[in-house]
Amino acid sequence: MGGVRLAVVGGDGIGPEVVAEGLKVLSAVLPDVETTDYDLGATAYHRTGEPLPDSVRAELAGHDAILLGAIGDPSVPPGVLERGLLLRLRFAFDHYVNLRPAKIWPGTATPLAHPGEVDFVVIREGTEGLYVGAGGTLAKGFPHEVATEESINTRVGVQRVVEDAFTRAAARPRKHLTLVHKTNVLTQAGGLWSRVFAEVSERFPAVQTAYQHVDAASMFMVTDPSRYDVIVTDNLFGDILTDIAAAVTGGIGLAASANINPTGAFPSMFEPVHGSAPDIAGKGVADPIATILSTALLLEHLGHPKAALRVQEAVAAELIARTAGAPLRTAEVGDRVATAVS
């Protein structure tokens, strides 16, 4: 097997700091990683006026995978970098499976008094729904102004992510899959999701299924998160649910994600769920665990399950050894985990 050609987008704020630690761990566990840095994010945008030049997108497409830190800066109006860079990558590379595991690691403090055993994965659709940018504003600034946002959902788009979710659920010990939507209000999109879910479920008789409205699921994620095994949901509901999941499992500093194109036609992209956190950028105090766990997802995706497991075990050891309240140094965390996997 040849080496892995990895595109690296540190991005904004703490992005470059946490990505440096992810790479430290990755190269400790996999000898043959060839990285190319791409300077994208707020600074590059201010310089070039383009969030993602076409030529850069074409270059990125030639890699085996992308490791991304964080995108977003107060100096850029909301949406410009998110829509023009982060979401553009997810859409252009058809990352229809946005995989976000949620697990309470031993030794981790959670805000819940009795969390129970929490170890589930949210499969968030990544290319459709309200994220498509099909909105408009009429009579901006006038008293009769109207602004719209349209959620567009295709059978192809829903079916492929639901199939992926059933496949993943079937491979897990509990084999349980919950569909989350809001079918009692969003009857059109909800109808499509429900019908497709029911159809696909016939091909997976071993998988037990459940349905919950997004408001109820948001509640149960706080009162009883251990009930979940695999959740499949749309782009926006997945965005919200995975932040609640991160909160109950010990914080956004630990939450990893993978934007996967399962066909392999385009590179998949691995990124922490957290944002650029401009308030702590450059101080060396950001927790790189979310990025390090994202590299474990990258290793799994590229067919290195043993290496992925070594990273996860090293993270588990790191989290158990942590003393609550003790100061955290980004680079030291990366050093310790990298040493442990070497």
Binding segment toward a copy of itself, per CB under 8 A, in 15-23, 94-102, 133-141, 309-317? 133-141
189 near a copy of itself, judged by CB under 8 A? yes
Q: Which residues pair with 212 in a beta bridge?
A: 180
Closer residue to a copy of itself, CB minimum distance, 123 or 248: 248
Active-site residue, selected from the candidate residues 131, 229, 234, 287: 131
CA distances from residue 13 to 75, 177, 238, 283 in whole angstroms, order as listed: 12, 36, 24, 10
The answer to the question of residue 59 lying near ligand IPM (CB under 6 A) is: no
Specify whether the CB–CB gap between 157 and 135 falls below 8 A. no
Q: Pick the closer one to a copy of itself by CB: 64 or 239.
A: 239
| Secondary structure letter of residue 93 according to DSSP | T
- How far from 30 is each of 24, 217, 294, CA to CA, in Å? 10, 38, 15
How many whole angstroms separate alpha carbon 55 and alpha carbon 51? 12
Task: Exactly one of 182, 228, 229, 234 is catalytic; name it.
Answer: 182
Please provide the distance, in angstroms rounded to a whole number, between the alpha carbons at the two ends of the chain.
20
Q: Which is nearer to ligand IPM, 184 or 263 (CB)?
A: 184
CA distance 255 to 244: 11
86, 217, 241, 248: residue in contact with ligand IPM (rule CB under 6 A): 86
Exposed, middle or buried: residue 212 (CB in 10 Å: 0-12, 13-18, 19+)?
A: buried
185 binds a copy of itself (CB under 8 A): yes
Judged by CB under 8 A, the residue of 121, 214, 296, 315 near a copy of itself is 214
Nearer to ligand IPM, 43 or 218 (CB): 218
Interface contacts to ligand IPM, rule CB under 6 A: 72, 82, 86, 184-185, 215, 239, 273
The set of catalytic residues is 131, 182, 215, 239, 243
